[in-house]
Amino acid sequence: MRRGALLFLLIGLIIIIGGFAAFLLLRGGATRPNAGTEPNVPPPPTVIPLVKVVQAAVDIEANTLLNDPTLLEVVEVPITEFDEQNEFSNISDVLGKLLINPVVAGQPITRNNIRDAGLAQRLPTAAPNQPRVKAYPLVVNSLSGVADQIAINDFVDVVATFSVERQIIRPGPAQVITVNDVDQLVREYQYGETQNLLTTKTIIQRAQVLQIVRPAAPVQEGEAAQGQGAAGASNLQSSSSLPQVDASGQPITGPQLENATPPSTLTEGIWIVVLALNDQQIELLEFALQSNARIVLALRSSDDVAIEQTTGVTIDLLVREFGLPLPRPLPPRVYGEAEVFVPEPTPTPRP
């Protein structure tokens, strides 16, 4: 009897649970919308990343040197509007460039609208009450160019040594001549030899070095290249800013300079220093070069801004101001008649 009651209760519990589950299924089916009438919900939009682009902060005219950061600004634009091949993201990539065409405010700076600034755009501005400087090239070598220890933006002094010709005139013997029955003492002057006297002066101080043009690396080797280099060195030695010597190493002076060959290509040991000079300084240096003066550069310290007052140097100043002793003329060597007219026996070599 008790076992039948338990079985009846178990069957009733199963029926209740099954009915409750069926109720839940029927309720879920009734509230679920029809698949055919379900609305289409769009997915959330994709976020477009932003990138930086350099553009003009103000209207910029053509041929403007972009060395002022206030002319530029960096803004963010969608990556779809950024031209990576022609636009910039950093101001540092644009500073120092020259603008080719004008750009209005808000327009990006493009690669095809800028170029590297030339030497004319990099000339320093004039000091107060001073004229603007110009670029002037000077050919130097290891001796006149401070052994190639000069760098761009250094300051140098230019020292020139001139050779001045002086003709010596000496008085001749006095003669008595009669003019209108009156005796007069007349002394004629005789022209002697011509002497070359040297004078040295610092003609330019604190000239800024704008550029250094060194010889290109040799493109070929062997005797042919060496021959071309020797010919170029020979030609460049004719430049009046270099010491000009002959085959024996002696300085070339006088009429020999007129036949000098004009400068040619740069070779090893010879280069060009471009200096920032005003017109007056250019005239001084050009006159010195055309006068075949010896030109050397003196490198200044980075903090040296002094302008020195120099006297220049000549032989008489060395004697008078600096106490240079002058040697007395040596007595001449007088040969006797026996030394001149009596021949000496020819020495014979020892067997």
- Residues 6+ positions from 207 with CB-CB distance below 8 Å: 155, 156, 157, 158, 275, 276, 277, 281
CA distance 132 to 94: 26
Q: Say what the alpha-carbon torsion angle 209, 213, 214, 215 is, to the nearest 10 degrees.
A: -160
Alpha helix locations (H) across the chain?
2-31, 223-236, 279-290, 315-321, 337-341
CA distance 14 to 8: 10
Task: Check: CB of residue 271 under 8 Å from CB of residue 147.
Answer: no
CA distance 167 to 169: 7
Instruction: Please tell me the number of Cα atoms within 13 Å of 11 on its side-chain side.
Output: 6
Q: Give me the pLDDT at residue 258, please.
A: 52
Cα of 25 vs its chain's centroid, Å: 90
DSSP annotation of 260 reads P
Output the six-digit token pair for 187. Answer: 């002394």
- Residues 6+ positions from 137 with CB-CB distance below 8 Å: 213, 272, 273, 274, 275
Output the six-digit token pair for 97. Answer: 């460039």
Task: Check: CB of residue 152 under 8 Å from CB of residue 212.
Answer: yes
Helix, strand, or coil here: 29?
helix
CA distance 296 to 139: 10
User: Maximum distance among all alpha carbons in the chain?
Assistant: 198
Task: Check: CB of residue 177 under 8 Å from CB of residue 183.
Answer: yes
Amino acid in the structure at residue 171:
P
Domains of the chain in start order, with CATH, are 50-117 (3.90.1210.10), 126-214+267-326 (no CATH)
Residue 54 pairs in a beta bridge with: 74
Geometric angle at alpha carbon 101, from 100 and 106, rounded to 5°: 120
CA distance 307 to 128: 16
Mean pLDDT by 10 residues, the chain (351 residues): 65 75 65 56 78 91 88 89 88 89 91 88 82 93 90 95 87 76 75 86 95 75 47 45 51 52 59 94 95 94 92 92 88 83 79 75
Distances (CA, A) of 199 to 165, 240, 266, 292, 311: 11, 16, 30, 13, 11
CA distance 221 to 227: 10
What secondary structure does DSSP assign to 65-113, as a single string? B---GGGEEEEEEEGGG--TTTB-S-GGGTTTEEESS-B-TTPBPBGGG
H/E segment holding residue 327 = none
SS3 content of the chain, % helix, strand, coil (to 5): 25, 30, 40
